[in-house]
Structure 1
């Protein structure tokens, strides 16, 4: 709710904000976990969209949505590639990501210490998860991002117009109150009269 409120209040035109939202939503359907901010900002930059809106929209991907997003993307990817999806993908997806990360760090350590490296885990991860996920996330990502764009433009425009009307009404009320208040003299306090001058008394010889 807070993210939605902040996106609406961004100082930019509705189309640029909506393009940023498009970039952020599309990014959540990519397998580049840990790099979503960078990917969303890059896409928003290319599309001339609002980068802050793009970063905010990446929060569409969260612990409650990552599993369904991953399942949909993987199943779509295997269908497009004509491969067989891994059984119980929703239960093993997080484990495969963790295993690939562990293999990556192990091989970096192996290079540094001169021990043999083993890319088997990463190869399995790339073939069974990463590549199908990347290919399969394009279609649902385009659909969700486009729907988000189409809904965001009129909503943001309406919100901005209503906010401008409220600000204008507030300033008009302040101006009206200022006009109704009595104008005090800038040289004397209100409710006081300047002291009278004494007449000069001529000298008598």
Structure 2
């Protein structure tokens, strides 16, 4: 196949590069920024897409961030490609502070008990929810009784507070990203148009010189 990789990467290397790209997250961020600037749309429309993507990173719908960002961008009439690129605001370097802020805000808004020892640590809640999910899937074939206790704790103490708590900080950060993006994208697009005009003018000048040379011959 034409587009098939010659060297097959091992699974551990794929997982490692997902957490830390080859050039680092700084290089990945610069690439995303470059792609956003080159999108052929109005700055406001691109910025609405960025708003959607950044806001989505404050939601607990991991694995569905692309779908959520594209849906929000569609509703806001923003650039969908920009929304997908902006989801890279959420990465292994930012997900921890995003999660902490969202969880603390959610617990505060819902008035929940903030004692983490009540039903174990956050990692334990994730583990027990995963065990319950796997057990309930197997119970379809084994006939064993289902158990939703761990998933119930996870929903009420992690997922729901995260979902509610991520709305306010998500809106704040996404709004800041919107208002910062509009002037930056506009300046970049104007500069790029100027560069293209200069190149076009230079090509026309060379063509006229070439035509004049042919006519003189």
Normalised TM-score (structure 1): 0.84
Which residue in 1 is equivalent to 2:51?
22
Gaps of 5+ in 1: 192-205
Aligned length: 185
Q: Which has the greater radius of gyration?
A: 1
Which residue in 2 is equivalent to 1:184?
214
Partner of 2:158: helix, strand, or coil? helix
Q: How does 1:60-99 map to 2 (within 5 A)?
A: 60-87=89-116, 92-93=121-122, 96-99=125-128
- In structure 1, distance between residues paired with 2:165 and 2:154: 15
Partner of 1:38: helix, strand, or coil? helix
Which residue in 2 is equivalent to 1:199?
none
Which residue in 1 is equivalent to 2:14?
none
CA drift at 1:149:
0.3
- In structure 2, distance between residues paired with 1:94 and 1:65: 18
Distance 1:78 1:9, change over 3 A: same
Superimposed CA distance per residue, residues 126-169 of structure 1 (whole angstroms, 9 cap, x where no aligned partner)? 11101110110000000000000000011111110100000000
- In structure 2, distance between residues paired with 1:26 and 1:121: 28
Gaps of 5+ in 2: 1-29
CA drift at 1:96:
3.4
CA drift at 1:111:
2.0
- In structure 2, distance between residues paired with 1:78 and 1:168: 55
Is it true that 1:142 corresponds to 2:175 in the alignment?
no
Contact 2:116 2:122 in 1 (8 A): no
CA drift at 1:109:
2.3
Contact 1:24 1:56 in 2 (8 A): yes
Superimposed CA distance per residue, residues 33-65 of structure 1 (whole angstroms, 9 cap, x where no aligned partner)? 111111111111111111110011111111111
- How large is the Cα RMSD of the aligned pairs? 2.0
| Partner of residue 34 from structure 1, selected from 63, 73, 93 | 63
Is it true that 1:11 corresponds to 2:40 in the alignment?
yes
Which residue in 1 is equivalent to 2:183?
154
- In structure 2, distance between residues paired with 1:150 and 1:46: 19
- In structure 2, distance between residues paired with 1:95 and 1:28: 23
CA drift at 1:184:
2.9
Which residue in 2 is equivalent to 1:165?
194
- In structure 1, distance between residues paired with 2:34 and 2:125: 36
Normalised TM-score (structure 2): 0.79
Distance 1:161 1:115, change over 3 A: same
- In structure 1, distance between residues paired with 2:56 and 2:115: 23
Superimposed CA distance per residue, residues 65-111 of structure 1 (whole angstroms, 9 cap, x where no aligned partner)? 111100000000000111122438xxx54553454244223312212
Q: Which moves more between the two structures, 138-147 or 104-113? A: 104-113
